[in-house]
Structure formats: C-alpha cells, structure tokens
Amino acid sequence: MDGRAGPGGTGNGGRAGAGEAGGALRGISTPARLADPGEGIGRDELALAARNHGLPLEALRYDVTPPGLHYVLVHYDVPAAEADSWTLTLGGRVREPLALDLAALRSLPSVTHRVTMECAGNGRARLAPRPVSQPWLVEAVGTADWTGVPLRTLLARAGVEPDAVEAVFTGADHGVERGVEQDYRRSLPLADASSGDPEVLVAYAMNGAPLPPQHGHPLRLVVPGWYGMAHVKWLRDITLTDTPFTGFQQAEAYRLRLSPDEPGEPVNRIAPRALMIPPGFPDFMSRTRVVEAGVVRLEGRAWSGRAPVAAVEVSTDDGASWRSASLAPPDGHPWSWRSWHTEWTATPGHHVLTARATDAEGTAQPLTQPWNRGGFANNEVQRVPVLCR
C-alpha cells in the first residue's frame, strides 16, 4: 500500500486510486444512518463495542487511569508497528523537512502532561434516534500522563513557512469508512498546533511506559482539551498545508449536523461533563446499584476542554433538586479531570442519582439530549439508578 501519499489540501483523505474500486467498497461500506424507533443495537454496533471499550466507572477512583482501563476507540485495525524502524516525517510548508526516528525524538527535551481524553462519540447510544456507530453510553473517557516532545518544538526546528495554515496528521491505521478508503488523518489549525497552552505533544510514553499498541505505539498526537479524534495514533507524518484540510475525518465525519446535507460545525473541544463513581455494589445484568441506608459518599470526576470546571451539582431525585458538591482544589493539571464529592443520606427505596458539571465559560451539562446526526458530544447528564435497603 502506498502509505506515504501526501494529504494534499483538497483530497478526501484517501490514497490515490481509491476510486477504482469505489463501487465495490460502497457495497461493504454503507452511508451513515439512524436506527429505527425501538431498533436494538445491531451486530455491527456490537462488534465495535466488543473490541473498543470504555472506562469501567468504578475506575474513576484512579487519578491516572491504568492503560487497560482507559477508553479505547480504534477506527480500523491496531497496526503492527515496530518502534525500531518507525520514522515520523514533518514536511509540506516548512523550510527544512524532518525525518525523526524514536531515538531522535527521545533526545529532544520532553514534557509530561496529564490529560483527560474523551471520545467525541461518548453518549451516542443514549440518543433517540440513535446514530448507528460505536455505541458508547457514558464511559468513553480516561486520564493519562503523556510524555513526549512538544509539537511546537518540532515546528520551530523545521521552520514554518508564512503561508502555512494547518498541520495535517496521518496515522498508520488504514481502512474504509462510509465508502472512502483512507489512512486515518486529521488536521489542526496552525495556531492550535503551535500553541503553548494547551501544548500539543508528539507522545511516546503513557504513564511512564512506552505507548501500548492500542494507544498508538510507538507515537501519537496528544491535543489537551480536544476530543479523541484529534489525538492521531500511530503517527507517521505531519504535513503543513496552505489550505484547510478537507479529508474525510475533517469534512465528512466529526461534524455537528441536524440534517445530512448541511456542512455542520466541526467537533473540537470537549464539552463539560461530570461522572459519578456508582456507589454501593451492582447487579450483574442491570448494573443497578445497591446501597445501605445512611450516609453514602458520592464522588466522581468532572472535566471540560473549554474552560476549567467551575461547579459540580448533584441530584439524588433524578434532577428535581440539586446541591453543590465539593470540588478538589486545582492540582497543577489544568487539562485533567477534577475530583468532586458530597454526602447523601440514603433512605430505603429507589433513587436516581446524577451529577452536572458547569465550566468557567458558564456552560452546564444539559438535562436533555443535545442531538445531532453523528451522535457527537452528547454530554447529557449520567443517571445512576440505586436501590437503598
């Protein structure tokens, strides 16, 4: 495969020649659709749910998520990547193109950022009608310490030409999606790519160890504050372009649309969300929780990629009334989730617990679904059914 085809400025993100078998590919790779009313999760959605996974909510207890508990979403296959022979190229509208192996990257000054990452599709399977794709409920999130070289360091070394407007990032994962064959590819505006806060990383370590295969081994992009689609895994090329990138993952997917014909707004920064560690213990099948009557500690995490979390409120009566939770003080990790907690005096019977985050821009989580055709950025509040005995 010609994995080194350039991203161009107007391509579809696929490789040259993809069109020749377009008809056959369209036969196995169908357009996006909405589930019919009452239609259960299908075999295709289930196959994605069986291979990708979310954070088991009790793992919200860890400040830094162990790799196997951090959510994973892989569009195509995890590539068979060898660190020893990996090369990252940086070209396009730069004065001096770079080709860096892992040793070269590791020899540069590194930084570590603690970043909460969330899939843009988190919450999709709670929507009605349901967009048919990876069927997340609320759990597609995780927090890790990512170590690598700031992208701005690499851009400064290569020398950005004055006409560059975007950086296009190409991963090694190859597949077909909605009829379009492609290497996974996304762009960032140059201002975001070269920013110092948040600082974009070309990361080679997660929680102090080499990246696991499913998290981008040996190299990935980390874009603090942005949904996961921006954090290109198995990163093999960065190309600066003088026109905005219009590839599939930028112009077709990851857009907020109410009808299929509109261009839609791009998905970018993470909307505010709070999640609760479900208290007590669960029923295996329903996941309904059981707590004893008396004082129950309610705790969890909250985050926003747009502004610091300013408040978390908790309801123990399915949103009829709310109280303020205590937010942990800032811990020096502005792009990581924050802990919150409160206490609840549980009384026998059935209850629905929920939590709602508000960020410093004043954006609060909605109590009803913010619907769009792609099922992106659905941060409707979590609901935790509890039986108190």
Q: What does the angle CA 308 – CA 309 – CA 315 come to, to the nearest 5 degrees?
A: 175
Say whether residue 47 binds a second copy (CB under 8 A): yes
Say whether residue 215 binds a second copy (CB under 8 A): yes
Select the residue interacting with a second copy from 7, 11, 12, 52 (CB under 8 A).
52
Q: Which among 153, 70, 69 is positioned nearest to 107, based on CA atoms?
A: 153
Which region, judged by CB under 8 A, interacts with a second copy, from 87-95, 259-267, 277-285, 316-324? 277-285
* Full DSSP string of 328-365: PPP-S-TTS-EEEEEEEEE-SEEEEEEEEEEETTS-B-
Say whether residue 164 binds a second copy (CB under 8 A): no
Question: Alpha carbon of 324 to those of 37, 305, 308, 356: distances in Å?
Answer: 37, 21, 16, 10
In this structure, what token pair is assigned to residue 82? 């060898």
Say whether residue 42 binds a second copy (CB under 8 A): yes
Q: Shortest gap between Cβ of 281 and a second copy (angstroms)?
A: 5
| Total of residues contacting a second copy (CB under 8 A) | 72
Q: Which among 337, 296, 340, 338 is positioned nearest to 316, based on CA atoms?
A: 296
Q: Which among 342, 344, 353 is positioned nearest to 293, based on CA atoms?
A: 344
In this structure, what token pair is assigned to residue 258? 């109410």
Give bridge partners of residue 188 from the DSSP assignment.
167
Say whether residue 145 binds a second copy (CB under 8 A): no
In this structure, what token pair is assigned to residue 124? 């999709």
Select the residue interacting with a second copy from 7, 11, 12, 25 (CB under 8 A).
25
Q: Which residues in the 290-329 window bind a second copy by CB under 8 A?
A: 290
Scanning the structure block, which residue is given the tokens 């990252």? 88
Q: Shortest gap between Cβ of 204 and a second copy (angstroms)?
A: 16
Determine the Cα–Cα distance for residues 191 and 174; give it in Å rounded to an integer.
28
Which of 62, 322 has the CB closer to a second copy?
62
Determine the Cα–Cα distance for residues 363 and 349; give it in Å rounded to an integer.
33
> 361: which residues sit within 8 A by CB, 6+ positions away?
304, 306, 307
Say whether residue 81 binds a second copy (CB under 8 A): no
Which region, judged by CB under 8 A, interacts with a second copy, from 93-101, 187-195, 228-236, 279-287? 279-287
Q: Shortest gap between Cβ of 32 and a second copy (angstroms)?
A: 8
Which of 207, 304 has the CB closer to a second copy?
207
- Using omega within 30 degrees of 0 as the cis cutoff, is the peptide bond preceding 162 cis? no
Which of 106, 383 has the CB closer to a second copy?
383
Select the residue interacting with a second copy from 161, 265, 283, 331 (CB under 8 A).
283
Select the residue interacting with a second copy from 110, 112, 214, 363 (CB under 8 A).
214
Which of 97, 349 has the CB closer to a second copy?
349
Q: Which residues in the 105-134 window bind a second copy by CB under 8 A?
A: 125, 132-133
Determine the Cα–Cα distance for residues 380 and 389; give it in Å rounded to an integer.
28
Q: Which residues in the 247-266 window bind a second copy by CB under 8 A?
A: none
Residues 324, 365 contacting (CB under 8 angstroms): no
Which region, judged by CB under 8 A, interacts with a second copy, from 60-68, 104-112, 155-163, 192-200? 60-68
Say whether residue 103 binds a second copy (CB under 8 A): no
Say whether residue 380 binds a second copy (CB under 8 A): no
Which of 212, 244 has the CB closer to a second copy?
212
Q: Shortest gap between Cβ of 64 and a second copy (angstroms)?
A: 12
